Amino acid sequence: MKRRGGAFLVVIIAISGFGCTPPTTSVAETPTPLPPPATSTPSPVWFPPTATPTLLPTRVITPSPTPALGLGDEVLRDDFDSPGAWQTYRNTTGSAAYEQSQLTLAVIASKGYLTSLRSTPEIENVYLEIALQPNLCQGQDAFGLLLRALNEQNAYRWVITCQAQMRLERLQGGRSLPLSEWITLGEIQVNPLVETRLGVWMYQDRLRLFVNGFEELSLRDPVFTRGQIGVFARAAGDSALSVSFRRLRIYAIDPTLLPSPTLSPSPMLTPKR
């Protein structure tokens, strides 16, 4: 024992025995003698019980906030208030029509599929953002964007279902090849009360997809390098499907504003003696 400041520093180390439980060490500083040890000491509760939270749907890929995208000048601002640039029509499958500053695709046929391409501009290395909102939607009904489209049969197709899942596909000759697995959008609720912002960054062979400002997917594919932008809607069954698109913005990408690639450090060489 060592006297310090009028008090004794007493260190008692009690070892309860050998086994999986670690020894308990206590340190006390007091001017009076310690009481005799208790006959039984309750075990400490290191992890007290807490209420079990309600789990959200799991996310296949954890999104990250939008990083620097190297955006240059605005190429296009389309508020869907001047008909003419987008394909519009009405047939037995449904319709593509302008209404209240938006373009609405309405599918009425069983398992019907509708598209609408914008005549200009031809997109290559750009970042685009568009808002969409489903009006009638359920189950595996799907909608989304056509990117770098040569026509309706040849393009990248970003598919989003009414169950808040997404994936990127490549259409060639009308046949679909998935470029990613299905990704669950955990915080996205696809319903008529929610507007969703989709962002697409395309530079050379790289495509990055964003939902409400968060990056959900990044991949490389060299097949389509430029083309039109389009939208689509596809009913999974007999129920009607309707989705509206609004506020399209397209920006050029300035390569000088892109972050420099990180180079791996060169191995250190030992000089000869």
Distance in angstroms (rounded) separating the CA atoms of residues 200 and 211: 9
Burial (0-12, 13-18, 19+ Cβ within 10 Å), 125 = middle
Tell me, yes or no, whether 271 lies in a domain: no
pLDDT reported for residue 185: 86
The position carrying tokens 């024992």 is: 1
Tell me, yes or no, whether 48 lies in a domain: no
What is the pLDDT tens value at each position of the chain, 273 positions in all?
444 444 444 333 333 444 444 444 444 455 555 555 544 444 443 334 434 334 334 333 344 445 578 999 999 999 999 889 999 999 999 999 999 999 999 999 999 999 999 999 999 999 999 999 999 998 899 999 999 999 999 999 999 999 889 999 999 999 999 999 999 986 565 666 788 999 999 999 999 999 999 999 999 999 999 999 999 999 999 999 999 999 999 999 999 988 876 444 444 444 444
Q: Domain of 165: which CATH number?
A: 2.60.120.560
Tell me, yes or no, whether 32 lies in a domain: no
Tell me, yes or no, whether 1 lies in a domain: no
- What does pTM read for this prediction? 0.71
Q: What proportions of the chain, in percent to the nearest 5, are helix, strand and coil? A: 0, 50, 50
End-to-end, the C-alpha distance of the chain in Å comes to: 58
Distance in angstroms (rounded) separating the CA atoms of residues 16 and 39: 12
Tell me, yes or no, whether 215 lies in a domain: yes
Tell me, yes or no, whether 268 lies in a domain: no
pLDDT reported for residue 50: 37
Query: Which stretches of the chain are assigned E, i.e. beta strand?
Result: 2-4, 7-14, 24-30, 64-65, 71-78, 89-90, 94-98, 103-107, 113-117, 126-136, 142-151, 154-161, 165-172, 175-178, 183-184, 196-203, 206-211, 214-220, 228-234, 241-253
pLDDT reported for residue 114: 98
Tell me, yes or no, whether 5 lies in a domain: no
Tell me, yes or no, whether 52 lies in a domain: no
**Nearest C-alpha neighbor of 245 from the set 160, 90, 133:** 133
User: What is the SS3 assignment for 57?
Assistant: coil
The position carrying tokens 């599929």 is: 113
The encoded tokens of residue 74 equal 């605005």
Distance in angstroms (rounded) separating the CA atoms of residues 271 and 36: 68
Distance in angstroms (rounded) separating the CA atoms of residues 252 and 124: 9
Provide the domain count of the chain.
1
Count CA atoms closer than 13 A to 202's CA, side-chain side. 26
User: Structural domain of residue 88, as residue ranges?
Assistant: 64-255
